[in-house]
Amino acid sequence: MDRASASSRRVNRRNAIMTIVGATLATPALLRLTNAQGLQRLRFTLPWLPEGSYAYAYVAKAGGHWRQRGYDVELSRGYGALAAAQAIAQGQFDLGMGSAPGLVMLSNKNVDLRSIAILDYEPTMGVCVLASSPIKSPKDLEGKRVGQTLTSTDAPFFAPFCERNGVDISKVQLLNMDARVRNQALVEGRVDAITGLASSVLGAIGASGKEVRFMLYSEYGLILYGNVVMAVTPKLLEQNPEMCRAVTEGLLAGLKYSLTHPAESQEMFLNAVPELKMTSTAQEFARLGMGVQRFSVLAGGADVKTQGLGWANHGKLDAMTDFVLRYQAEAGSKKPNLETIFTNRFIGSIKLSASEWATADKETKWVAPKLGKGA
């Protein structure tokens, strides 16, 4: 691998993080109001646009899982996991979603946040090609055009993916594109492959009728664990732990329902996002995104089944952190205390029975082949 290119990519990633940290203006903490029904109002940010992979948050709201715990939660779209985490840290939102690697990286930029639940375990980062593509292995990417969104969570992992799989990245033509342009470029054949998260890409492209295949980074030697996490500031966690518990359990209750009642959850999600529901591809877009998200939760394995939804395995987080710091951080960056950042304090009350897990697994089997996991 071209070490200069890898170094340049790490620097670009660090610069992007610093831009996000610096550009987000500090704002006063939100004033939490009470509505006419006596519910405490909270603002909650998603990491990205409303899509099937975040449907469970809309289920938590529409299904009354937050309301019955005393909270009226306003959901807002995000502009990327790092930006969402920074917005939470600056008090623009009470709580929200970020990424596990992002929280590790931001801790070295003095952006202090806490993960109070891991919401899925397989990041689904990887390289996506059309099903008919002759690209069958990482080495086949040499000499090809690859579309990439540099501000996306997955972007910094393409270089180590190439390094670990014998791909000469200097022979890959990388093209930086907006996410929607990137997806369309693959459909139209203007690029041979794209990088991204299957949780977003599969729904966007699959809903158009095009079949795609993924090479997930986790299947090619990259040590990744945890994708979306629920994040709060240390101050809020200290001052109002019961609110944090209630909102966490409400969100996980919505996740549980979406795992076992996908059809009903899909309708709840689309009814909550009318501008999406009006599109001709809405149903398939939501179905695909929700399928990938279920796949990612099931990747939590025995930990989640025994400990409950949201559980953080600190051993796996430790291995992921070493990997992330090696490829993303500045030399000499300090390894954070993972048991402080990723707490299981509010985890354990929302569990699935054996029959419920069997239902979730049955509802998810069709997704695996699309992600390069076999039948």
| DSSP secondary structure string for all residues of 249-287 | HHHHHHHHHHHH-HHHHHHHHHHH-HHHHTSTTHHHHHH
List phi, psi (to 5°) of 249: -65, -35
For the ranges 14-18, 160-164, 299-303, 324-328, the lowest mean pLDDT is seen at 14-18
| Closest by CA position to 145, among listed 177, 120, 121, 117 | 177
**Average of per-residue pLDDT values in the chain:** 89
* Both tokens assigned to 209: 């009728």
Please give the average per-residue pLDDT across 258-271, as a whole number.
Answer: 97
* Both tokens assigned to 155: 């972007």
Query: Are 229 and 100 spatial neighbours (Cβ–Cβ below 8 Å)?
Result: yes
Q: List Cα–Cα distances, 227 to 145, 230, 317, in angstroms.
A: 27, 10, 11
Query: CATH 3.40.190.10: which residues of the chain?
Result: 18-121+225-365, 123-219
Name the DSSP letter for residue 144.
-
Query: Are 307 and 221 spatial neighbours (Cβ–Cβ below 8 Å)?
Result: no
CA-CA-CA-CA torsion for 351, 357, 360, 362, nearest 10 degrees?
180
Question: CATH: 3.40.50.10800, 3.40.50.10470, 3.30.70.940, 3.40.190.10. Which one for 18-121+225-365?
Answer: 3.40.190.10
pLDDT at residue 30 is higher than 80: no
SS3 60: helix
pLDDT at residue 300 is higher than 90: yes
SS3 97: strand
* Calpha distance 121→103 (Å, rounded): 15
Res 34: pLDDT:
66
Query: Are 319 and 225 spatial neighbours (Cβ–Cβ below 8 Å)?
Result: yes
Which amino acid, one-letter code, is at 159? A
State the Cα angle at 200 between 195 and 206, rounded to 5°.
90
pLDDT at residue 305 is higher than 60: yes
Name the DSSP letter for residue 372.
T
* Both tokens assigned to 355: 């029959």
- Bridge partners of residue 194, in order along the sequence: 128, 147
Q: How many CA atoms lie within 13 A of 247 on its CB side?
A: 28
Res 229: pLDDT:
96
331-369 residue pLDDT tens: 888 899 999 999 999 999 999 999 999 999 999 999 999
| Closest by CA position to 187, among listed 139, 137, 147, 140 | 147
Second CATH level (architecture) for the domain 123-219: 3-Layer(aba) Sandwich (3.40)
Q: How confident is the model at residue 227 (pLDDT cuts 50, 70, 90)?
A: confident
Please give the average per-residue pLDDT across 221-230, as a whole number.
Answer: 92
* Calpha distance 245→374 (Å, rounded): 38
| Closest by CA position to 370, among listed 151, 205, 243 | 205
* Both tokens assigned to 150: 């540099």
* Both tokens assigned to 158: 């393409």
* Calpha distance 200→85 (Å, rounded): 19
Res 4: pLDDT:
43
* Both tokens assigned to 39: 């519910």
pLDDT at residue 33 is higher than 80: no
pLDDT at residue 65 is higher than 50: yes
Class of residue 99 by CB neighbours under 10 A (exposed 0-12, middle 13-18, buried 19+)? buried
SS3 153: coil
Res 198: pLDDT:
93
- Bridge partners of residue 197, in order along the sequence: 125
Q: Is the dihedral of CA 260, 262, 263, 265 positive or negative?
A: positive
Name the DSSP letter for residue 309.
T
Res 36: pLDDT:
54
For the ranges 30-39, 153-162, 323-332, the lowest mean pLDDT is seen at 30-39
Res 116: pLDDT:
98
